């Protein structure tokens, strides 16, 4: 099939994320990917600034990842997880328990991040049901949050960007407070915490858990908030007998400079969701971790079982990819490497601060953000990035980078310089 035919069929029949069918949009067919490069069918090679939405942390076509998957394919690609188990799942669960904060001791494998969030919410509800507080079924969360696209997850996404009004008849109404205004590196203001506390106290009888993205609100605005705020949320949860769910799906596995973002605040959640980078971007897999206390309470309540079990639960290929990815990560000096990327992003993006169209430039770990003072026109900007030889996909006012960890200093300099040129061109 030539590129023209492929694009015509794609346009007529294939949904893309947040897209419409039959609308002309710039879309680029990829032939292959290797290291930090995406190779388009027309032969152009682009430096990947997105890690395929936070996931491809070791880049593409990694020989060790490939070897692990090939070896697993020869054994079995999939078996059901009801009544059966296998080494990749058990080893991955053990590894996740070692890597995450100590109280997290059990692992539920889910097929995507959104499902891991659904599972976390169901765990919290079943926990309180078992404890004799069946009214605790609602969630308190922060505005500008993003937790996925399924109904439960959508109910705790930002009400505006999550289009709550469109789905209002079918979405559970949750409790929202303003996103923290305090910056990463600073202290939490008392005001934001006071509002959260007030909301918590008022509705505590109905609240099962606070759910939030620790430190980085990703899809909802790429903002970095104070570790002190997160610490104080943890304290409030303990004082008011409400669980804390940390959605580490975007932040997990080193991206913010800690293995998990909650470590910036030295706290541990009661339930943690991981996904995205878990398999190094090879396959869809996510997990929900929880404590002994929660799993035991669910066991002792009605119906004595946790009520969830997807068909492709703990897929052996995905678990093998995750094990290989975690080995690559933890065998490397990843904190030093993320610090190197952080320095490269800071150096490369800081000239953008001088541009009139730029409202803010911020960097944390392997995340670099150039916030403009108006929305970018994707149809204009996306082809400009491709012409510059980079793959960057902005949204709203945000041009952001989260490159694969294997990016070299030179490639990082090229990537950030391309961002500077495109941002400058839209300023003019």
Ligand X SMILES: *Cc1c(COP(=O)(O)O)cnc(C)c1O
**C-beta of 17 vs 304, nearer to ligand X:** 17
Buried b (16+ CB within 10 A) or exposed e, 269-306: bbbbbbbbbbbbbbbbbbbbbbbeebbebbeebeeeeb
Q: What is the DSSP letter of 42?
A: T
At its nearest, how many Å lie between ligand X and the CB of residue 242?
20
Token pair, residue 328, equals 């690559």
Is 247 labeled as catalytic in the residue annotation? Answer: yes
Q: Does the protein bind ligand X through residue 147 (CB under 6 A)?
A: yes
At its nearest, how many Å lie between ligand X and the CB of residue 370?
19
Q: Does the protein bind ligand X through residue 247 (CB under 6 A)?
A: yes
Residues 259-288 that bind ligand X (CB under 6 A): 275-276
Token pair, residue 25, equals 């949009």
How far is 158 from 390, CA to CA, in rounded Å?
30
Exactly one of 276, 282, 397, 405 is catalytic; name it: 276
Exactly one of 127, 146, 225, 229 is catalytic; name it: 146
Q: Report which residue's Cβ sits closest to ligand X.
A: 113
Exactly one of 2, 18, 169, 331 is catalytic; name it: 18
DSSP percent split of the chain into helix, strand, coil, nearest 5 = 40, 20, 40
Residues 56-115 that bind ligand X (CB under 6 A): 112-114
How far is 69 from 67, CA to CA, in rounded Å?
5
Q: Binding ligand X by CB under 6 A: which of 37, 146, 306, 391?
A: 146
Q: Does the protein bind ligand X through residue 51 (CB under 6 A)?
A: no
Contacts with 206 (C-beta within 8 Å, 6 or more apart), sequence order: 135, 136, 137, 138
Is 18 labeled as catalytic in the residue annotation? Answer: yes
Place of tokens 């469109």: 166
**C-beta of 197 vs 264, nearer to ligand X:** 264
At its nearest, how many Å lie between ligand X and the CB of residue 338?
18
Contacts with 220 (C-beta within 8 Å, 6 or more apart), sequence order: 143, 144, 145, 146, 157, 158, 161, 179, 213
> If we measure between CA atoms, which residue out of 348, 343, 403, 341 comes closest to residue 370?
348
Is 127 labeled as catalytic in the residue annotation? Answer: no
Using CB under 6 A as the binding criterion, the count of chain residues that bind ligand X stands at 15
Half-sphere exposure of 294 (CA within 13 A, CB side): 32
Q: Binding ligand X by CB under 6 A: which of 213, 263, 371, 411?
A: 213
Is 225 labeled as catalytic in the residue annotation? Answer: no
At its nearest, how many Å lie between ligand X and the CB of residue 43?
30
Q: Does the protein bind ligand X through residue 367 (CB under 6 A)?
A: no
**C-beta of 129 vs 147, nearer to ligand X:** 147
Instruction: Pick the piece of the chain touching ligand X (CB under 6 A) from 145-153, 159-167, 223-231, 365-373.
Output: 145-153
At its nearest, how many Å lie between ligand X and the CB of residue 260?
12
Strands (E), 340-421: 358-364, 367-372, 390-391, 398-401
Q: Binding ligand X by CB under 6 A: which of 51, 174, 188, 219?
A: 219
At its nearest, how many Å lie between ligand X and the CB of residue 350?
26
Between helix 409-427 and helix 378-387 the angle, nearest 10°, is 140
Longest dimension (CA), the chain: 64
Residues 115-134 that bind ligand X (CB under 6 A): 117
Exactly one of 122, 247, 258, 270 is catalytic; name it: 247
Chain residues in the site for ligand X (CB under 6 A): 112-114, 117, 146-148, 213, 218-219, 247, 249-250, 275-276
Catalytic residue annotation = 18, 146, 247, 276
């Amino acid at each position: 099939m030539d590129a023209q035919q492929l694009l015509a069929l794609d346009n007529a029949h294939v949904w893309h994320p947040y897209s419409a069918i039959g609308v002309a949009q710039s879309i680029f067919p990829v032939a292959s990917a290797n290291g930090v490069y995406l190779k388009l069918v027309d032969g152009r090679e682009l430096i990947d600034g997105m890690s395929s939405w936070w996931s491809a942390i070791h880049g593409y076509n990694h020989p060790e990842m490939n070897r692990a998957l090939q070896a697993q394919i020869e054994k079995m690609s999939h078996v059901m997880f009801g009544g059966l188990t296998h080494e990749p799942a058990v080893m991955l669960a053990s590894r996740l328990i070692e890597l995450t904060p100590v109280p997290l001791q059990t692992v539920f494998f889910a097929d995507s991040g959104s499902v891991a969030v659904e599972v976390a919410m169901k765990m919290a509800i079943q926990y309180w049901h078992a404890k004799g507080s069946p009214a605790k079924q609602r969630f308190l969360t922060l505005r500008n949050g993003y937790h996925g696209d399924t109904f439960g997850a959508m109910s705790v996404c930002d009400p505006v960007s999550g289009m709550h009004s469109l789905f209002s008849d079918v979405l559970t109404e949750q409790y929202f407070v303003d996103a923290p205004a305090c910056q990463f590196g600073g202290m939490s203001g008392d005001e934001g915490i006071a509002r959260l506390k007030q909301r918590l106290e008022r509705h505590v009888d109905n609240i099962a858990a606070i759910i939030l993205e620790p430190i980085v609100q990703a899809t909802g605005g790429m903002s970095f908030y104070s570790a002190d705020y997160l610490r104080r949320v943890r304290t409030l949860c303990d004082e008011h007998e409400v669980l804390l769910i940390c959605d580490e799906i975007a932040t997990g596995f080193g991206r913010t400079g800690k293995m998990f973002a909650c470590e910036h605040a030295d706290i541990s959640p009661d339930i943690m969701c991981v996904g995205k980078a878990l398999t190094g971007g090879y396959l869809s897999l996510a997990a929900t971790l929880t404590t002994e206390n929660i799993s035991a309470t669910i066991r002792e309540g009605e119906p004595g079982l946790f009520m969830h079990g997807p068909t492709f639960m703990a897929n052996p290929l995905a678990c093998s990819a995750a094990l290989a990815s975690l080995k690559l990560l933890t065998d490397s000096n990843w904190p030093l490497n993320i610090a190197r990327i952080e320095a490269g992003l800071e150096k490369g993006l800081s000239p953008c601060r001088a541009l009139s169209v730029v409202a803010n430039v911020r960097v944390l770990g392997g995340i670099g953000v150039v916030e403009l003072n108006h929305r970018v026109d994707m149809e204009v900007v996306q082809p400009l990035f491709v012409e510059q030889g980079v793959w960057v996909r902005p949204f709203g006012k945000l041009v952001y980078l989260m490159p694969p960890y294997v990016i070299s200093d030179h490639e990082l300099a090229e990537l950030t310089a391309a961002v500077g040129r495109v941002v400058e061109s839209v300023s003019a």
